[in-house]
Amino acid sequence: MFPLWIPLADAHRPGLSYARVSSTELDVTLAAPELGAAVRPGEDLAASRLLIADMVLPGTTLSVNGVPCELGDPSVRRVEGDGIELSVPAECPVGPITYTAGFLARMEPGHRHYVESEGAPVAVLDPSSFTATVAATRQPLEVAGRFGLLGVEHIWTGYDHLLFLFALLLAAPSLRAMLLIVTGFTVAHSITLSAAALGLVHISPAWVEPAIAASIVFVGVENFWRPPPGRRTAVTFGLGLIHGFGFASMLTDLGLPRAQLVTALVSFNGGVELGQGAIVLLLLPILLRLRRWPSWERRFVPVLSGLVVIAGAVWFMQRVG
């Protein structure tokens, strides 16, 4: 057993690093201070690419049953906080991959290096033990099952997304309006989830997470004015695009298997929709029945909308703080 897994964002501090291993790519993320003079503030990372590679790659290898994988030209990019990610294309034979993080020998004794493959934690390495074995690439059905379950789990534990959806349905005047709202949200977040996960668009979580909280506040306030169904559907679509980037951020942190990227993406999105559908099926009959209660719209919808606004405002302040 290894320690409780940490999010990628936490791995961008000195003393912590992160690797994502697959048969087609090795991604290593380090905090900029640990790369020393190889990274200068404000300097274009492209100019430092070879310096960074020279600090990380010597002694760092991928192999299968003793046969070294062929590594391509490295690239670098900045990630959240002060993280620097070094990405190296790889061509590995079929079989379990042995990852040796030779650069750890040059790190401080307390350094921890978190290794994952295809979204699953593999090992925690340190300067005294820097080799881990990654299981062979999963079959498509295994990948689909894993990422589908992760999608369900993410929506069920994504309280901000659920509160946003609840606030949208709270003031919906009819079943038809509710279904249009859910459809608009689904289509919108599927678009941006796919675009961001495929690397076509990137927006920093530092902007996305406060924007999600702000969207909750907006919908809660709008409920006091009972927006017409057409306007609410359009607003839902626009704000749903923001939520899609939130889903994508989580999915990217899991580590999409490059060899089965489409399978993982479609499965994760399907899991999100399945989990969302289960919540909607639970909510719709309850809300439709409550609408028959004379004081529901007059008293309870405003009170609940007010609580939604407060929750969204608290999350917003926490995320911009």
What is the arithmetic mean of pLDDT over 74-87? 81
**pLDDT per residue as tens digits for the range 55-79:** 888 989 999 888 999 999 988 887 7
Give every CB contact of residue 21 below 8 A, 6+ residues apart in sequence.
Answer: 62, 97, 99, 115, 116, 117, 122, 132, 134
Least confident of 150-159, 239-248, 257-266: 257-266
Give the fold, CATH level 3, of 140-320: Growth Hormone; Chain: A; (1.20.1250)
User: d(Cα 61, Cα 48) in Å, to the nearest integer?
Assistant: 21
Class of residue 133 by CB neighbours under 10 A (exposed 0-12, middle 13-18, buried 19+): middle
What is the arithmetic mean of pLDDT over 234-243? 94
pLDDT value, residue 173: 84
pLDDT value, residue 11: 43
What is the arithmetic mean of pLDDT over 205-223? 93
Class of residue 102 by CB neighbours under 10 A (exposed 0-12, middle 13-18, buried 19+): middle
Q: Which of 241, 224, 218 is nearest to 164 (CA)?
A: 218
Q: How confident is the model at residue 213 (pLDDT cuts 50, 70, 90)?
A: very high
Three-state secondary structure call for residue 78: strand
- How many residues comprise the chain? 321
Query: What is 11-24 written as a DSSP string?
Result: GGSTTEEEEEE-SS
Sign, Cα dihedral of 218, 223, 228, 233 = positive
As a whole number, the mean pLDDT across the chain is: 85
**pLDDT per residue as tens digits for the range 110-128:** 899 999 887 778 889 999 9
Q: What are phi and psi of 208, to 5 degrees?
A: -70, -45
What residue spans define the domains of the chain? Answer: 8-134, 140-320
pLDDT value, residue 4: 36
User: d(Cα 19, Cα 303) in Å, to the nearest integer?
Assistant: 47
Q: Which of 136, 123, 61 is nearest to 93 (CA)?
A: 136
Interior angle at CA 124, CA 123 and CA 130, nearest 5 = 95
Question: For the stretch 162-196, what's the b/e string if a residue is b when 16 or more beta carbons lie within 10 angstroms of its beta carbon?
Answer: bbbbbbbbbbbeeeebbebbbebbbebbbebbbbb
Asked if residue 8 has pLDDT above 70, the reply is no
Q: Which of 109, 72, 70, 115 is nearest to 91 (CA)?
A: 70
Three-state secondary structure call for residue 93: coil
Distances 142 to 137, 160, 176, 317 between C-alpha atoms, Å: 10, 29, 37, 40
pLDDT value, residue 38: 63
Contact 93, 99 (CB under 8 A): no
Q: How confident is the model at residue 101 (pLDDT cuts 50, 70, 90)?
A: very high
pLDDT value, residue 264: 83
Asked if residue 163 has pLDDT above 60, the reply is yes
Asked if residue 214 has pLDDT above 90, the reply is yes
